[in-house]
Every structure is written in structure tokens, then in C-alpha cells.
């Protein structure tokens, strides 16, 4: 066992960064901190009407600094001396343009307020056209480069976003040396990187978002990229020829960051990864179990022994990638582009009058803040008391497009079956049902492709905050839902990887056994509602198919 015993795990979420400091020997969390992103919370650089969601790198830098320092402030000097590693999890695909030194262009004065120079957040859908081109070329050329990502390339992913940025902003293209995932750039930053050619790409993001596969010997052939657009060939050549698993070290904390954080230059920095993948480890994922990371969106993760996936290709998901979750296993990813975001949209819709500045005064502002804090809880409570019946209002959950099965960012949400007697809780329940039906569609697709789903684990904020949502999910899936005991699963998973990086434990599995928090509760389906929800699900599929038919 390593002489170090403390590790730091950092989770860069959509709205905030969360950090925990753990005693890896005892599996005990010593301190935690959450820091909201200052610019993001003001809505800067985003335009929901255009599906444009950008985040400034300073939000990440400041959030990391503040949250780690808050954690360290809660412990004594001896603990700080025995911190062995920091590992991080980030949303993805969330890439950014960097210059040849690896500096994000948004940190250069000329581009400091340019949204195209910032991180393109996972849920940004401005690259729909470019994703369509990638999919069309793949079919035209007969190149089977999409088989490991479910057969469809998404506008949420690396190459589509890069091509869109290069076309949308010629000045950015003149300075951009390469395109880097947040999960790769942050370890590069903390280790003092100053040469973009030496950025270490993680196997998780490379495989699920950038088409990297051992079967191809790395990326697809350069001809594939140049046939989409000649400029992509340049960036494919600059991508590098090696990827790294998350249990490996990216290097040591550089002197500048060691001083800034109050740590030693002997602290190792782990290779990064996408938050949901790391969260699945934090939730103690098991083979053949779906681990649902439920927040603003969902990511559905699975691990399967490699020999059991030979010859199997699950169509319509976000990929099946060797070593992407647990080294030595195939990681499967699916998910929904909006889950909690659907509920937040409805909350904001109801609060619209109070949010109008023209109505603003001190009393209105106070009322708005109170309602904003309580409205979702009240909707959950009221919806849970409603009677269940077949002709209740219904919805489709594609308010931010459809991620899986079968990525289609042009799909739209829908609410139907309304009358003059329909209430806000009626609509809210329909929205919750729709997100759970979307989850069921994912499970059914995975099983229809030959991969058995033996259980479901739920992790993330909603799984701990909304018994109503979890009960409907169990009912609609007709499966027990195992809810993780901690909300900080992504940061916990990062701590587990950090413990392997600095040799406290030999494997991720060993770290999980010793550091995991276990299951808080098991929510079981109510058998008396199975037939009802089967009929409601058939209705969901029917209206989804009508929308698809209307597009043709």
C-alpha cells in the first residue's frame, strides 16, 4: 500500500464544480465543496434558441481553484502533505480550440469574449449540419467507421463541433492548432503543459466521441476525414497516435498549480474522463448492470467483459469502447439529451411572469426566489398524489433532441391529451413519464441487440432528490432501481481513479470495493401498474413514430 492515503476527486458538472477530499485507506470523505460557475450562472455566451451552450475556461479554472482550496481548508497540514493524486471528471463531449502552446483561445485577449473560442458544452447542438455530413459520407464511402458508436454520429460530439466552429469563425480557424476535450485539457493544464502536441487524450472521450478504436489502429483513415472536409484531415493528423486509460497518470502537479492550491509537486494528476463514466465507477458499477447518471440529462453506462461483446454491435447508442469505463472491459454508453432539464424548463415556464424584468420589484424578486426554490418539490408532491389512468396527458421527452436510441437532435418535445381541466401537476407527471419512457426505450434497444440487462443502478442528484421520479422509473422499467448512497458519485469515482493513479490500490475494482458508499435504497416496481404503463409506453412509441413519419 502506498504511503500516501489521501486523494482529491473533482467533478466538473454543467452548472458547477464539485470537489471531495477522501481518506482512501478508510473510504471516508473528509471534506467537500461546490462552486458555481460565475459566467455560466449569468447565462453568458449561451443562446438556447440556437441551441448554443458555451462555457468560458475561466469558470473551470476558478471553480477548480476555489473548490479544492475550500476542501483543503477543512483539514490539517499533515493531510495536505499526504495527498497522493488528483483525478477529474468532466462533461463531454465538451471541446475547445487551443493554440500550439495548448492555450484555449478564449484565454487570449483577441478572443476573450468570443463564444466560438470557448468550450462547446455537451448539449450544444449548433453542429447538426456537420453531423449530418459525417453520417452521409460514412454511408457513401462504405466505410464502417461508425459501428462502434451505434451507427450514427451526433452533433454533440468532437468532429462535428470542430467542423462547425471552423466554418462559423474563420479567425478562430487561423489560430486553432488542435481541438481538445475538457477532460484532456485540465490535466494538461495542471501538469504545466505548454505544447499542444503533447496533450494526452483519454480513451473514454476518444472512443465515444472522436471515433478512436483499436480495430482501426486509432482514428479512422485520414481519407475519411478529408472526404468530409479537407480541413478535418489536418486536425486528424494532429490528434496524436496514442490514448490513455483513466487509471494512468498524466504527470505531476506543476509548481505554479502546487503553489496556487497549497499542495506538493509530488501530487500526481490522473488522466481525465467523461463524468458519467467516472460516476458509474463511483456508483460501483457491475457487469451487465445499467448505471444511470441522472441529472440535467442522463448517461446510461454498462460494462461487459470483452469476450462477451465479440461480434456484437449495439445500434443507436453512443458507443461501445474498450477500457472506457473500467480498464479491461467494454464500456457501453447511451443516454437522454434532457431529463432534469425537461423539469427545469417547465418550472421556468410557470415562473415566466415573475421573471420578467418589467414586473420586477423587491417583493416580486423575493417571491420569485422562493418559488424557484420550492416549485419543483411542490410539483413532485402534487403529481405523486394524482390518480393513474390511461387517458391522462402524455408527452415526448425530446426537448433537446434525442440522444439514444438513434441520435436525432432535430426531434422535438411534445405535450398532448390536454383539456381545460388539465393542471400543472398533470403536465408535470406527463413530462416525468416521458423521461422514464425514454429510459425504457434505451433498455429495450440494448437487450434487442443481444446484451442482457441484469439490473439498474441510479446515481446523481435526481435519484436522491425525487422519490416520485424514481418510483415511476421503477414502474415503467418494471425493474428494481438500486440508488447509490452518495450524490457525489462522479467526484467519488474520480477519487477511486486517483487512488489507483498513486498506487494506493492496484485496480479500479479494488478501489471501488474499499472506497464505495454502497446502496442507499432499492425502489421496487408496483406490479399493479404494469399493464397501465405498458399501454402508456405504447402510446409514447406511437406518437414518436408519427413525428418521425412527418419528417419524411
- pLDDT tens-place string over residues 384-403: 999 999 999 999 999 999 99
**CATH superfamily membership of 6-283:** ATPase, nucleotide binding domain (3.30.420.40)
- Half-sphere exposure (Cβ direction) of 511: Cα atoms closer than 13 Å: 31
Q: How many residues comprise the chain?
A: 552
Taking 90 as the threshold, does the pLDDT of residue 207 lie above it?
yes
Taking 90 as the threshold, does the pLDDT of residue 468 lie above it?
yes
* 4 vs 375, residue with greater confidence: 375
**pLDDT in the model for residue 359:** 62
Question: Is the CB of residue 18 less than 8 Å from the CB of residue 490?
Answer: yes
**pLDDT in the model for residue 356:** 73
Domain spans, the chain? 6-283
410: cell is 432535430
Q: Considering only CA atoms, which of 144, 162, 36, 47 is closest in space to residue 93?
A: 162
Q: Which residue has the cell 418539490?
A: 377
At residue 353 the predicted structure's pLDDT band, cuts being 50, 70 and 90, is confident
Sign of the C-alpha dihedral, residues 485, 85, 280, 184? positive
* 74 vs 361, residue with greater confidence: 74
**pLDDT in the model for residue 360:** 63
Taking 70 as the threshold, does the pLDDT of residue 305 lie above it?
yes
Q: What is the mean pLDDT of residues 465-476?
A: 97
Question: Is the CB of residue 482 less than 8 Å from the CB of residue 470?
Answer: no
Taking 60 as the threshold, does the pLDDT of residue 1 lie above it?
no
**pLDDT in the model for residue 361:** 74
Residues with Cβ within 8 Å of 43's Cβ and at least 6 positions away in sequence, in order, are none
Question: Is the CB of residue 547 less than 8 Å from the CB of residue 412?
Answer: yes
**pLDDT in the model for residue 160:** 98
Other CB atoms within 10 Å distance of the CB of residue 243: 24
Query: Residue 29: which H helix or E strand, with range?
Result: strand 28-36
Taking 90 as the threshold, does the pLDDT of residue 342 lie above it?
yes
DSSP β-bridge partners for residue 201: 243
Question: Is the CB of residue 411 less than 8 Å from the CB of residue 402?
Answer: yes
Question: Is the CB of residue 525 less than 8 Å from the CB of residue 475?
Answer: yes
**pLDDT in the model for residue 493:** 97
**pLDDT in the model for residue 540:** 98
Q: Give dist(CA 544, CA 552) in Å, integer.
A: 13
Q: What is the mean pLDDT of residues 32-38?
A: 97
The DSSP output letter for 213 is B
Tell me the average pLDDT of the chain: 95
Taking 60 as the threshold, does the pLDDT of residue 84 lie above it?
yes
Listed range (138-152, 162-176, 311-325) with the worst mean pLDDT: 138-152
Indicate the pTM of the whole model.
Answer: 0.90
Q: What is the mean pLDDT of residues 217-243?
A: 96
Query: pLDDT (tens digit, 9 = 90+) per residue, 474-507?
Result: 999 999 999 998 888 999 999 999 999 999 999 9
First to last CA, the chain: 61
At residue 264 the predicted structure's pLDDT band, cuts being 50, 70 and 90, is very high
Taking 80 as the threshold, does the pLDDT of residue 344 lie above it?
yes
Q: Considering only CA atoms, which of 301, 547, 318 is closest in space to residue 434?
A: 547
Query: Residue 119: which H helix or E strand, with range?
Result: strand 119-120
User: What share of the chain in percent tops pLDDT 90?
Assistant: 90
**pLDDT in the model for residue 513:** 94
Taking 60 as the threshold, does the pLDDT of residue 350 lie above it?
yes
Q: Is 263 helix (H, G, I), strand (E, B) or coil?
A: coil
What phi, psi does 243 have (nearest 5°)? Answer: -125, 160
Q: What is the mean pLDDT of residues 268-289?
A: 95
- Any alpha helices (H) in 413-552, and if so which ranges? 424-448, 461-465, 467-477, 489-501, 508-515, 530-551
- Half-sphere exposure (Cβ direction) of 175: Cα atoms closer than 13 Å: 20
Q: What is the mean pLDDT of residues 70-78?
A: 96
Beta strands in 242-328 (DSSP E): 243-244, 249-252, 268-270, 273-274, 289-294, 298-305, 320-322
Amino acid at each position: 500500500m502506498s504511503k500516501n492515503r489521501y486523494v482529491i476527486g473533482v467533478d466538473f458538472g454543467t452548472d458547477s464544480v464539485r470537489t471531495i477530499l477522501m481518506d482512501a485507506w478508510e473510504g471516508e470523505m473528509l471534506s467537500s465543496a461546490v462552486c458555481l460557475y460565475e459566467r455560466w450562472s449569468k447565462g453568458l455566451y449561451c443562446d438556447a434558441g440556437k441551441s448554443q451552450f458555451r462555457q468560458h475556461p475561466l469558470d473551470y479554472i476558478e471553480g477548480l481553484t476555489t473548490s479544492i482550496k475550500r476542501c483543503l481548508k477543512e483539514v490539517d497540514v499533515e493531510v495536505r502533505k499526504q495527498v497522493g493524486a488528483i483525478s477529474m471528471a468532466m462533461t463531454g463531449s465538451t471541446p475547445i480550440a487551443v493554440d500550439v502552446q495548448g492555450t484555449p483561445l478564449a484565454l487570449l485577449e483577441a478572443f476573450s469574449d468570443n463564444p466560438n473560442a470557448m468550450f462547446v458544452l455537451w448539449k450544444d447542438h449548433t453542429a447538426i449540419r456537420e453531423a449530418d455530413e459525417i453520417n452521409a459520407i460514412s454511408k457513401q464511402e462504405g466505410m464502417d467507421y461508425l459501428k462502434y458508436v451505434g451507427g450514427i454520429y451526433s452533433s454533440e460530439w468532437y468532429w462535428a463541433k470542430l467542423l462547425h466552429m471552423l466554418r462559423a469563425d474563420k479567425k478562430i480557424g487561423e489560430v486553432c492548432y488542435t481541438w481538445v476535450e475538457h477532460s484532456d485539457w485540465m490535466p494538461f493544464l495542471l501538469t504545466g503543459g505548454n505544447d499542444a502536441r503533447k496533450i494526452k487524450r483519454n480513451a473514454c472521450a476518444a472512443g465515444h466521441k472522436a471515433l478512436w478504436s483499436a480495430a482501426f489502429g486509432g482514428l479512422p483513415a485520414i481519407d475519411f476525414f478529408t472526404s468530409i472536409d479537407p480541413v478535418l484531415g489536418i486536425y486528424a493528423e494532429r490528434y496524436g497516435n496514442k490514448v490513455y486509460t483513466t487509471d494512468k497518470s498524466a504527470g505531476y502537479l506543476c509548481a505554479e498549480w502546487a503553489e496556487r492550491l497549497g499542495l506538493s509537486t509530488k501530487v500526481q494528476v490522473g488522466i481525465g474522463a467523461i463524468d458519467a463514466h467516472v460516476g458509474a465507477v463511483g456508483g460501483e458499477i457491475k457487469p451487465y448492470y445499467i448505471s444511470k447518471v441522472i441529472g440535467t440529462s442522463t448517461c446510461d453506462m454498462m460494462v461487459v467483459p470483452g469476450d462477451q461483446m465479440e461480434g456484437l454491435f449495439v445500434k443507436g447508442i453512443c458507443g461501445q469502447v474498450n477500457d472506457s469505463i473500467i480498464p479491461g472491459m467494454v464500456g457501453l454508453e447511451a443516454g437522454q439529451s434532457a431529463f432534469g432539464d425537461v423539469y427545469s424548463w417547465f418550472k421556468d415556464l410557470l415562473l415566466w411572469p415573475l421573471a420578467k424584468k418589467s414586473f420586477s420589484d423587491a417583493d416580486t424578486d423575493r417571491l420569485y426566489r422562493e418559488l424557484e426554490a420550492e416549485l419543483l418539490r411542490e410539483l413532485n408532491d402534487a403529481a405523486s398524489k394524482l390518480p393513474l389512468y390511461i387517458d391522462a396527458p402524455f408527452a415526448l421527452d425530446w426537448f433537446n433532441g434525442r440522444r439514444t436510441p438513434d441520435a436525432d437532435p432535430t426531434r422535438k418535445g411534445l405535450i398532448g391529451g390536454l383539456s381545460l381541466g388539465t393542471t400543472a401537476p398533470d403536465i408535470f407527471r406527463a413530462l416525468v413519464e416521458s423521461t422514464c419512457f425514454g429510459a425504457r426505450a434505451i433498455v429495450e434497444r440494448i437487450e434487442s441487440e443481444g446484451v442482457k440487462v441484469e439490473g439498474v443502478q441510479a446515481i446523481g442528484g435526481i435519484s436522491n432528490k425525487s422519490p416520485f421520479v424514481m418510483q415511476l422509473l421503477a414502474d415503467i422499467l418494471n425493474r428494481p432501481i438500486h440508488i447509490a448512497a452518495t450524490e457525489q458519485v462522479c467526484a467519488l469515482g474520480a477519487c477511486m481513479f486517483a487512488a489507483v493513479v498513486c498506487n494506493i490500490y492496484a485496480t479500479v475494482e479494488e478501489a471501488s470495493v474499499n472506497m464505495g458508499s454502497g446502496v442507499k435504497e432499492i425502489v421496487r416496481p408496483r406490479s399493479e401498474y404494469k399493464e397501465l404503463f405498458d399501454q402508456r409506453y405504447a402510446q409514447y412509441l406511437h406518437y414518436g413514430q408519427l413525428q418521425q413519419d412527418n419528417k419524411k
